[in-house]
């Protein structure tokens, strides 16, 4: 549903291309969260760092972006080159 709604705003993209982008970004964001959680578990760090109390730390706010942005960039470069 989201690709159908957002495709008009992605100029030059088809619904299939935007659906692929959204699926890859969603999967890579979840993977980033899981990898960061595994690293924290191995290091014994609950909040890393504890700048935002009660939220698992600052890294938990951005961990999914560390995987999602490079995947989205690579998808765009490969698809549109």
Pair 20, 28: CB distance under 8 Å: no
Over residues 6-51, the pLDDT tens digits come to 777 878 888 888 889 889 999 999 999 999 888 888 888 776 666 6
Over residues 44-81, the pLDDT tens digits come to 877 666 666 666 667 777 889 999 999 999 999 998 87
Structure-token match 């578990």, residue found: 41
Phi, psi of 47 (to 5 degrees): -115, 120
- Of the pLDDT bands very low, low, confident and very high (cuts 50, 70, 90), residue 4 is confident
Q: Is the pTM of this model over 0.95?
A: no
What 3-state class would DSSP assign to 12? coil
**Per-residue confidence (pLDDT) for residue 35, from 0 to 100:** 92
Which residues have CB under 8 Å from 54's CB, separation 6+?
none
Domain boundaries, the chain: 24-79
């Amino acid at each position: 549903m989201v690709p159908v709604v957002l495709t008009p705003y992605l100029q030059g993209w088809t619904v299939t291309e935007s659906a692929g982008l959204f699926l890859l970004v969603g999967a890579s964001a979840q993977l980033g969260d899981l990898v960061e959680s595994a690293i924290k578990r191995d290091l014994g760090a609950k909040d890393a760092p504890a700048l935002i109390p009660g939220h698992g730390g600052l890294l938990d706010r951005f961990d999914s972006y560390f995987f999602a942005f490079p995947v989205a960039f690579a998808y765009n470069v490969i698809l549109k080159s």
